[in-house]
């Protein structure tokens, strides 16, 4: 099984090396605990002060009933410009930690979140729900429109669904996907491919009370994650020797295949 994963990872890297880049960029991002992934692209909303409740017809985040020690105000998550077909990957594993509890300091969750399961959040506006590790770093592709309705289906990143060890993923517009630290268990950097119509990638945090149900409970989150992303860039970290050998085999096979065709 590990051999199959390593071979697939090497071939993925091989394909990335051979693919032409429409654009290339390296971007460093900090994602705060208040960066609500469910507010991605929602420039139509006014975020109330932390001491005030959200108001509206239900298209808003839930908060604690009273003040929290942190009194964090939700923030719009950071975004980067992309075009359809762009290959986005971490160039270094994401780092940092966020505390999701009513009190400042430990315990902190890392970018990969807590456990393999534990979070099942519903959609908000045009942004899908989220199923996967608690509090993990996540992303969502959007077009230029404000995502107010028509949320796509929810992806499942538990062991019974997609899991966390996928090599490549092309989610739909508005569909939250797991990023975590950006690497598989075999230390391959995962690739996220911008779907048709995508103009931006937004990174944020999926949260809710007990990490389940309606999105919200950001008003007690402190800390942040940091990630270095590459758009159509190859990570500088090379595979382990065994994986590198598989990559060379793939390159050799590709050369012989082209020679026969010629």
Domain boundaries, the chain: 2-234
Question: Where would I find the H helices in the chain?
Answer: 2-18, 241-261
**Per-residue pLDDT, 237:** 54
Residue 21 binned pLDDT confidence (cut-offs 50, 70, 90):
very low
- For the chain, the straight-line distance linking the first and the last C-alpha, in angstroms and rounded, comes to 34
Name the residue among 203, 199, 214, 224 with its Cα closest to residue 40: 203
Higher per-residue confidence, 14 vs 218: 218
**3-state SS assignment for residue 37:** helix
In the beta sheet, which residues pair with residue 109? 98
Q: What is the pTM of this model?
A: 0.83
Q: What long-range pairs does 235-240 form, CB within 8 A, spacing at least 24? A: 235/89, 235/90, 235/91, 235/92, 235/189, 236/91, 237/92, 237/187, 237/189, 239/9, 239/10, 239/13, 239/187, 239/188, 240/187
Does the pLDDT at position 159 exceed 60?
yes
pLDDT tens profile 118-158:
999 999 999 999 999 999 999 999 999 999 999 999 999 99
- Name the CA dihedral angle for 55, 59, 65, 67, rounded to a multiple of 10 degrees: -80
pLDDT tens profile 28-71:
999 999 999 999 999 999 999 998 888 766 678 999 989 999 99
């Amino acid at each position: 099984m590990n051999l199959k994963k390593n071979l697939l990872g090497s071939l993925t890297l091989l394909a990335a090396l051979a693919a032409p880049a429409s654009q290339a960029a390296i971007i460093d991002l900090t994602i705060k605990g208040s960066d609500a992934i469910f507010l991605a692209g929602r420039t139509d909303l006014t975020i109330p002060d932390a001491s005030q409740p959200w108001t509206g017809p239900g298209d808003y985040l839930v908060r604690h009933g009273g003040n929290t020690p942190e009194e964090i105000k939700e923030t719009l998550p950071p975004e980067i410009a992309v075009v359809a077909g762009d290959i986005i990957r971490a160039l270094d594993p994401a780092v940092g930690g966020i505390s999701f509890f009513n009190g400042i300091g430990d315990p902190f969750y890392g970018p990969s979140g807590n456990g393999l399961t534990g979070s099942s959040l519903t959609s908000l506006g045009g942004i899908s729900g989220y199923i996967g590790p608690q509090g993990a770093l996540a992303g969502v592709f959007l077009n230029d429109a404000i995502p107010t309705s028509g949320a796509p289906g929810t992806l499942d990143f538990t062991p019974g669904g997609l899991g966390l060890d996928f090599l490549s993923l092309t989610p739909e517009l508005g569909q939250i996907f797991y990023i975590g630290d950006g690497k598989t268990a075999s230390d391959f950097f995962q690739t996220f491919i911008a779907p048709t119509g995508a103009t931006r990638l937004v990174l944020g945090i999926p949260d809710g009370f007990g990490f389940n149900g309606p999105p919200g409970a950001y008003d007690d989150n402190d800390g942040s994650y940091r990630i270095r992303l590459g758009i159509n860039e190859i990570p500088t970290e090379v595979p382990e020797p065994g994986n590198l050998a598989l990559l060379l085999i793939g390159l050799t096979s590709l050369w012989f295949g082209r020679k026969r065709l010629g």
